[in-house]
Amino acid sequence: MFLLRRGKDRVTVDQAHRRTQGADAPAVLLDVREQDEWNAGHAPGAVHAPLSRLTAGSALPSAVRGRPLVVICRSGNRSQRAAELLAARRAEVVDVKGGMKAWAAAGHPVVDGHGNHGSIA
């Protein structure tokens, strides 16, 4: 088990992968990119909640409520904003340095909206 601070910490893609992948994963990978980015490529098992919806006041998807969150975007900028917003909502949250670009560059899996090999633009 690990503790997450509320919106203060950043993790590497390898740390994010270890914390969020597999049936016994202690945290959920929350992808805050927009729909077209998500459709092109995302991490398997990630949950989608665009930052634009979160900033508009939308609730988190029910599958992630009350769970520790590891937030990811394309490069790490939006995920920092999302982590701050979610921390203000009292979520346990960290964001991923380098985002999905770093995730893919590290060789971690990326799938598209149909479960095929995806890409990060």
Cβ-based burial of 59 (10 A; exposed 0-12, middle 13-18, buried ≥19): exposed
8 Å CB contact between 67 and 61: no
Rounded alpha-carbon distances, angstroms, from residue 36 to 49, 104, 110, 119: 12, 17, 14, 11
8 Å CB contact between 72 and 99: yes
Residue 48 bears catalytic tag: no
**In angstroms, rounded to a whole number, what is the distance separating the alpha carbons of residues 104 and 1?**
25
Catalytic residue among 11, 30, 51, 73: 73
Give the active site residues. 73
